[in-house]
Amino acid sequence: MLLASLGLRVTVVPSAYAEIALPGLAPADLALRHARGKADVAAPSGALIVAADTVVDVDGEPLGKPRDPAEGRAMLRRLSGRRHLVHTAFALRDDRTSARYDEVVSTAVHFADLSDALIALYVAGGDGHDKAGGYGIQGFAATLVERIDGDYFTVVGFPLAAFARSLPRIGYFLAPVPAAIPAPQPSAKVPA
């Protein structure tokens, strides 16, 4: 999990929030609405609540998670050979202080031209069935991408740097966890 990679103790709680399409809402605003909704329905915990949502944006149209393999193939055909945006929003809620903060981070992704055979193989593997736009860049789909302009972790689904920079706004501070220092090893002589 990305948050745990920062040295945070994380408890994952499934959200009861229903991600519904909201026609007329720009893709970045949709991601923010969903992230806020997930944070708002979380039960009070006495800890910092962190919720996020990712939406793929093709020419201002949001692409969510594909409903089935056919929709997944159609999404990848649409992304093939072109640029799209990935918007990941996060919402923070501190129940102890009532502090809140939310933000949207956007990254441009440029896909290579994809053959129908490659699209079919990728979708059949199931990697993108639960991901916005029908792909997950942290897996095999990394080979489908020519380049990104922006934060890689935004495309993965959580903008770590923006999250870390936002914490002081609500009274939290993140510090690196020192690496374990190995115990001195006895010296050894190697015969020549």
Residues with catalytic function:
53
Which pair of structure tokens corresponds to residue 68?
A: 């089935």
**Calpha distance 159→50 (Å, rounded):** 12
DSSP string of 82-134? SEEEEEEEEEEEETTTTEEEEEEEEEEEEEPP--HHHHHHHHHHTTTTTSGGG
Point out which residues pair with 89 in neighbouring strands.
53, 104
Please name the amino acid found at residue 142.
Answer: A
Q: From the CB of residue 188, how many other CB atoms can be counted at a distance below 10 Å?
A: 5
DSSP string of 26-63? -HHHHHHHHHHHHHHHSPP-SSEEEEEEEEEEETTEEE
